Structure 1
Amino acid sequence: MNAHLEQLSPRALWRHFRTLCNTPRPSGHEAALVATLERWADGLGLAHDRDAFGNLRIRKTATPGFEAAPGVILQSHLDMVAQANADYPHDFTCDPIETWVGDDGWLHARHTTLGADNGLGVAAALAILEDETLVHGPLEALFTLEEESSMGGALNLDEDWLEGRLLLNLDSEDRGQVYIGCAGGADVIVEARLPSAPLVDHEVALRLSLTGLSGGHSGIDIDKGLGNANRLLVRVLRALEPFGARLVDYHGGTLRNALPREAFATLALPDDEQASASKRVAVLQEVLRAELAGVDEGLTLTLSPMATRPAEALTEPASQQWIRALHVAPCGVERMSVAVPGVVETSNNLGVVSLEGGRFHLCALVRSLRDSATQDLADRFRALFELVGARTRVENAYPGWTPNPDSPLLARFCRLHREQLGSEAEVKVIHAGLECGILGGKYPKLDMISFGPLIRGAHSPDERVELASVAEFWTLLRALIEDLARDDAW
């Protein structure tokens, strides 16, 4: 599948990306891809090893005469976000990603995430390793695991394993930009067992659905004004409280690092309030569409009778308590950065919310450029839900990456960007969880930058990559590696 990818330029890079598209690799299921890459490395005579967590390293010795050049680490993560449109059956653990090239010059996937994040970084590193025309110093390609789900690969990376002095993270998503800092983050988990009571004779069961939102990356896109399905459906549930609605179940979002596109709830409602509730939902659909106009215009809100009648729903006090707690929970941009104008400093994403059989579960992702602010917002989130008797915990915390504007590697990159592409590179800090912050904590002497091709819609089925930007990314990467090897200033 995806044979057309090998007709794109640069061919070596796209050939490897085809392998990635044809090899399922959602977070936690990277083993098949690791085995494939190890066989590939064996075929080229490249040394490879894994650390205790399973992160993969492939090494290539320097071009003869350039052994004294500083070692360069090409770093990317192997896993991808698994998101598909609700009406499209796709098993990310066994089905390949089907790609297509649009007339607009962008590569897309059919109804699923594309995996350009971070598959193109992986493909570029592999293409560099097999390029026999490239002059280079010692090279290491570091491929981490479970970045999208937990940063597990970077958090558990062996120390005193990597040998290089310079690290090129290939996981950025903007053309003409180079990143020197990123947000840290933490998952906040909320769990509770909620009281329920049987439905009474005059109650009917209704299905409340909110669909059609764009979704997106919970860091990069958090300030775009896009809808969060959990935030919006809870708002609708709050508006239905006066009609005596009781929650039976709830399911919204699938990943804590993706803006939820859809959310669904089953309600028990007095029969004589059904018509009024339906009218209220219809009004709210128009209100929400108006609020999202020009930004996220696909919202659809429906309330329809259930074919089967559930036996129980939350008690009315419990239902109201939890809807209200969710309604006031932090969601979206908390604070913009003063130090880095135009960049979000702190945010929270209500990523995954579920209620089934009285068991409530929530996973939110807090991000901040300041580790202290990450800790504070996570603590506020916990305090809110502890007030209503929930069990809370913080998991998968990872540090931010403190910018170093005086980095020699950055200065070299900016010069090459100007020479190779004829334009100045924009130096940026990103409100997303690049692995650089974690890696810098384990290897504090590393000089690091992050760059990549232009990707849009990451973490959603709208994910796409601009083909021309991939060619530019490849040109710049090759030039940088050669420049680092040839200059004796190191």
Structure 2
Amino acid sequence: MNTEIKSLEPREVWSIFDRMTKIPRPSDHEEEIQRWAYNFGKNLGLETLKDDAGNVIIRKPASSGMENRKGVILQGHLDMVPQKNSDKEHNFETDPIEAFVDSDWVKARGTTLGADNGIGVSAALAVLASKTIQHGPVEVLLTATEETGMDGANGLAPGVLQGDILINMDSEDEGELYVGCAGGEDASALFAYSTEKVPAGFTGMKLNVTGMKGGHSGMDISLGRGNANMVFFRILNAAYAKLGVRLASIDGGSLRNAIPREAFGLLAVNEADVADFVALVEEISDTIKTELAVTEPDLKITVEQATVPSDLIDEKTQVRLTLSVVACPNGVVRMSDSMEGLVETSTNLAIVKSDAQKKTILCAALMRSSVDSAKEDLASRIKAVFTLAGAEVSFTGAYPGWKPNMDSPILKTMQEVYNKNFNKIPEIKAIHAGLECGILGGKYQNWDMISFGPTIRFPHSPDEKVNIESVKKFWDFLVVTLENIPEK
């Protein structure tokens, strides 16, 4: 197999994706990729615009003889999740992604790959560049800052798009058609703390939780993976109860939509108790590693000597923080009653991070549910836990779910097309993740919507990879779908 990504088949897709890996595009730092996408459309001589929300919209007229087909909007998001291993030197705002071919997969060295949603965007742009694909009127909608708040979808004005059918290309299992998704909301709990001096006779110790897989907090939440924040505070809870270990700082997780892979804390331990502390951590670590042996085989929990901290988080706040994290709901809360194997409601305690300058500790979670009332109930539980602990609790960034329409005409068309071309009926599914369809469909209620994509594994983590053969099938399916779009 050719090891050059741009030379993989289909070349029209991979060559664009190869270019995208060289353009930094973490969420909230998308100016360069937006400029590139805008120029891509302009250089093809197509009507191109960028709206106030940072969305890039490109229109391509119908092929000759296809003018009577319904208009299609091909949609993806330009940003990517910036996650890297702790030993990887990489600046997502300036450095290219080091993508490479590994057997049947394309991966990245120590960072997220950006196949989520770079492959979908590449396919949409390849349609625009093609001179051979037969299609009706096509619009490409490339949204901004999807991963951290769906800002582009929320900021899209009604009436800008002209098409009738939205094809979202942000799903991650080839051979499946998605017709619904969960809604979500961010929960934040903010503790204010005062500082205390380190007691005489105490030394500095660092507690590190590393080697966990992390992953997408929607797609991977059902896999039973560990949460580095929960592991850290499970240990700290026991260490404080038995040895009076104190907390100076905590840095756990970084993104709300990624299961936290690492957590690091600076502690103060009585010098007389250091050996007992190390033994206690080893004992608890062995227990946790046994519990997570299948899902987290590379979990590492280590302690090391550190400089004595300049001050400590006050003891009352440490206790309240620790107990609230231990008690906070995390992971799958309920499975769906209507669709086998689908998570209905979940939450991910993604971030626990102290700020020494502001003297605050932020606990942040992303709640997801396909049932609004269940999401509201989960929010009330999280609020109760942290309010009782004395934190200031707030909820932001709520976005709606996408209710399945099993009578969808585009669903019927794509089922028939897939069966005819691949001799298989595609699975119809809903996804426990936030697709932009829910927001976009609220603004354009006439749209018939569907989502599909190639096979991507472990998005939102440095283990992210995309299957090469699935990209070819995804592309072939997209091309033949466009050729068979119904008439107006």
* TM > 0.5 fold call: yes
- How far apart are the structure 2 equivalents of 1:240 and 1:449? 50
- How far apart are the structure 2 equivalents of 1:387 and 1:130? 57
**What residue number does 1:290 align with?**
290
- How far apart are the structure 2 equivalents of 1:138 and 1:175? 25
- How far apart are the structure 1 equivalents of 2:347 and 2:477? 34
Does structure 1 residue 53 correspond to structure 2 residue 41? Answer: no
Is the 1:240–1:277 contact (alpha carbons within 8 Å) kept by the matching residues of 2? yes
- How far apart are the structure 1 equivalents of 2:205 and 2:112? 31
Question: Shift of residue 163 of structure 1?
Answer: 0.8
Is the 2:250–2:264 contact (alpha carbons within 8 Å) kept by the matching residues of 1? yes
Is the 2:38–2:50 contact (alpha carbons within 8 Å) kept by the matching residues of 1? no
Question: Shift of residue 195 of structure 1?
Answer: 2.7
- Residue pairs, 1:161-172, within 5 angstroms: 161-172=160-171
**What residue number does 1:139 align with?**
138
**What residue number does 2:413 align with?**
412
**What residue number does 1:33 align with?**
33
Is the 1:84–1:461 contact (alpha carbons within 8 Å) kept by the matching residues of 2? yes
Matched residue SS, 1:406: coil
**What residue number does 1:186 align with?**
185
**What residue number does 2:460 align with?**
459
Superposed CA offset, 1:299-346 (max 9, x none): 11112211x211211233321221001100010011111011211000
- How far apart are the structure 1 equivalents of 2:370 and 2:325? 25
- Residue pairs, 1:329-368, within 5 angstroms: 329-357=328-356, 358-368=359-369
Partner AA of 2:135 in structure 1: H
- How far apart are the structure 2 equivalents of 1:185 and 1:228? 19
Question: Shift of residue 76 of structure 1?
Answer: 0.1
**What residue number does 1:62 align with?**
62
Matched residue SS, 1:402: coil
- Residue pairs, 1:82-481, within 5 angstroms: 82-103=82-103, 105-241=104-240, 242-306=242-306, 308-357=307-356, 358-481=359-482
- How far apart are the structure 1 equivalents of 2:222 and 2:39? 42
- How far apart are the structure 2 equivalents of 1:37 and 1:50? 10
- How far apart are the structure 2 equivalents of 1:71 and 1:52? 24
- How far apart are the structure 2 equivalents of 1:264 and 1:326? 15
- How far apart are the structure 1 equivalents of 2:20 and 2:3? 12
Partner AA of 2:473 in structure 1: E
Matched residue SS, 1:385: helix
Superposed CA offset, 1:261-284 (max 9, x none): 100111112222211111010111
Partner AA of 2:280 in structure 1: R
Question: Mean alpha-carbon deviation: is it higher for 374-383 or for 50-59?
Answer: 374-383
Matched residue SS, 2:221: coil
Question: Shift of residue 199 of structure 1?
Answer: 0.7
Is the 2:351–2:363 contact (alpha carbons within 8 Å) kept by the matching residues of 1? yes
Matched residue SS, 1:223: helix
Is the 1:152–1:396 contact (alpha carbons within 8 Å) kept by the matching residues of 2? no
- How far apart are the structure 1 equivalents of 2:118 and 2:333? 31
**What residue number does 1:5 align with?**
5
TM-score, length-scaled by structure 1 = 0.97
Matched residue SS, 1:278: helix
Question: Mean alpha-carbon deviation: is it higher for 193-202 or for 310-319?
Answer: 310-319
Matched residue SS, 1:389: coil
Question: Shift of residue 3 of structure 1?
Answer: 9.0
Is the 1:173–1:451 contact (alpha carbons within 8 Å) kept by the matching residues of 2? yes
Is the 1:180–1:448 contact (alpha carbons within 8 Å) kept by the matching residues of 2? yes
- How far apart are the structure 2 equivalents of 1:136 and 1:407? 20
Matched residue SS, 1:16: helix
- How far apart are the structure 2 equivalents of 1:356 and 1:268? 18
Is the 1:252–1:354 contact (alpha carbons within 8 Å) kept by the matching residues of 2? yes
Matched residue SS, 2:147: helix
Structure 2 residue runs without a partner (length 5+): none
Superposed CA offset, 1:94-139 (max 9, x none): 1001111112x11111111000000000000000111111111110
Q: Pairwise CA RMSD of aligned residues?
A: 1.3
Question: Shift of residue 67 of structure 1?
Answer: 1.7
Question: Mean alpha-carbon deviation: is it higher for 368-377 or for 181-190?
Answer: 368-377
- How far apart are the structure 2 equivalents of 1:28 and 1:316? 36
- How far apart are the structure 1 equivalents of 2:62 and 2:475? 20
Is the 2:198–2:268 contact (alpha carbons within 8 Å) kept by the matching residues of 1? yes
Moved beyond 2 Å, runs of 4+: 314-318
Superposed CA offset, 1:210-256 (max 9, x none): 10001110001001011110111111111112210111000001111
Is the 2:75–2:166 contact (alpha carbons within 8 Å) kept by the matching residues of 1? yes
- How far apart are the structure 2 equivalents of 1:205 and 1:371? 46
- How far apart are the structure 2 equivalents of 1:417 and 1:76? 21
Is the 1:100–1:107 contact (alpha carbons within 8 Å) kept by the matching residues of 2? yes
Is the 2:30–2:78 contact (alpha carbons within 8 Å) kept by the matching residues of 1? yes
Is the 1:145–1:153 contact (alpha carbons within 8 Å) kept by the matching residues of 2? yes
- How far apart are the structure 1 equivalents of 2:230 and 2:421? 45
